[in-house]
């Protein structure tokens, strides 16, 4: 069965929730593109239990970092 086992590069980003709590998210390039194509990514803050989506600018920054 053609399961790919390539090592995925992951990048961690420091993000801030809408209520100013610091969070860290980790993406792989593939996972990030998958999230994008399914309408995401959606972040979650463990401190105030809020979900939010990154801005287009943030997405551009993530993409650039994952592509390098
Ligand atoms: Zn928060």
- For the chain, what is the domain count? 1
**b (16+ CB within 10 A) / e for 18-42:** eeeeeeeeebebeebeebeeeeebe
**In a domain? residue 6:** no
What per-residue confidence (pLDDT) applies to 2? 56
Q: What is the pTM of this model?
A: 0.76
**In a domain? residue 52:** yes
**In a domain? residue 17:** no
Q: What average pLDDT is seen over the chain?
A: 90
Quote the ligand 1 centre to 38 CA distance (angstroms). 24
**In a domain? residue 57:** yes
**In a domain? residue 4:** no
**In a domain? residue 58:** yes
Question: For residues 29 and 66, is the Cβ–Cβ distance under 8 A?
Answer: yes
What per-residue confidence (pLDDT) applies to 8? 72
**In a domain? residue 62:** yes
Neighbours of 62 (CB within 10 A): 21
Quote the ligand 1 centre to 27 CA distance (angstroms). 20
Question: pLDDT digit string (tens) for 18-31?
Answer: 999 999 999 999 99
Q: Whole domain around residue 52: which residue ranges?
A: 22-67
Q: 56: pLDDT confidence band, cut at 50, 70 and 90?
A: very high
DSSP conformation class of 47:
T
**In a domain? residue 7:** no
Quote the ligand 1 centre to 18 CA distance (angstroms). 6
């Amino acid at each position: 069965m053609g399961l790919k086992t390539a090592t995925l590069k992951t990048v961690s980003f420091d993000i801030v929730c809408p209520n100013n709590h610091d969070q860290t998210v980790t993406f792989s390039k593939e996972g990030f593109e998958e999230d994008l194509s399914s309408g995401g990514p959606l972040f979650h803050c463990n401190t105030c239990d809020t979900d939010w989506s990154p801005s287009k600018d943030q997405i551009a920054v993530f993409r650039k970092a994952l592509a390098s």
